[in-house]
Amino acid sequence: MAVLSKEQLAELEVLLGRIKGVNAARVVLDEEGKVDEIHILAGSSRSPKQIVRDVESALLASFNIAIDHKKISIAQVEGGDTEDDSREEIRPQVAKVDMALEQSIVRVNVELTIGESKISGTAEGPATSQNRKRLLAIATVCAVENFLNKNGIFVVEDVQELYISGKKAMVVAVAAILGREEENYLGAAYANGDEREAVVKATLAAINRRLRFFVEK
């Protein structure tokens, strides 16, 4: 497990505090500077299991840390939510991922479902191993932008693979342009034998929580 500096500890607590339903987060390090305990104060709109999963994903995606869920404690307070959770969440689901190779060019098509709607996005480029992963993420972003009817919102910054507990995971970094400002998101997903779908899921994990914001804009 990674050793965290004081600056990284502060960054981690800020990150955890941004998870939906979390009001405050405290991370306790052991003598070596590794994460030993995580204490979360949350509202009552989400189940503890959902919050724990989000904490695990945030640690994995941002700090490459895999932690035992038993080290994460959740304290919930009634009516303590800091967000308006009465609005319906927008959660795209993977429907289909196609990849066609023509000589040295690969064309990717990603189909998603949002409620009863089906949307798709495409991307093409040189068929290198790394670029195929990037094109999968770009096609996913394109599909989401088609749903939002807004182009040029998201930029795929990077796609990487790593191994956690002996399992391959895909990590995707996405930036969003908000006027003159920029936000950066990370998403991760285990490959589980399907690397293509893992890239799509990791891309969605990076941007899902901000989709409602762009719909309302």
Backbone angles phi, psi at 114, to 5 degrees: -130, 105
Give the pLDDT of residue 216: 54
Write the pLDDT tens digit of every residue in 168-210: 889 898 988 776 677 888 888 889 889 999 999 999 988 886 7
Query: Domain segments of the chain: what residues?
Result: 6-76, 93-216
Write the pLDDT tens digit of every residue in 113-125: 987 889 999 999 9
- Measured CA to CA, the distance from residue 184 to residue 14 in angstroms comes to 14
> What mean pLDDT, rounded, does the chain reach?
85
Write the pLDDT tens digit of every residue in 38-55: 998 887 778 888 889 899
The domain covering 6-76 belongs, at the CATH homologous superfamily level, to ANL, C-terminal domain (3.30.300.30)
Average pLDDT over residues 59-82: 80
Give the pLDDT of residue 1: 61
Give the pLDDT of residue 87: 47
Higher pLDDT, 119 or 213: 119
Give the pLDDT of residue 26: 87
Write the pLDDT tens digit of every residue in 137-168: 999 999 999 988 887 789 999 999 988 778 88
Residue 21 — very low, low, confident or very high, per pLDDT cuts 50/70/90? confident
- Architecture (CATH level 2) of domain 93-216: 2-Layer Sandwich (3.30)
Percent of the chain past pLDDT 90, that is, above it, reads 35
- Measured CA to CA, the distance from residue 52 to residue 19 in angstroms comes to 10
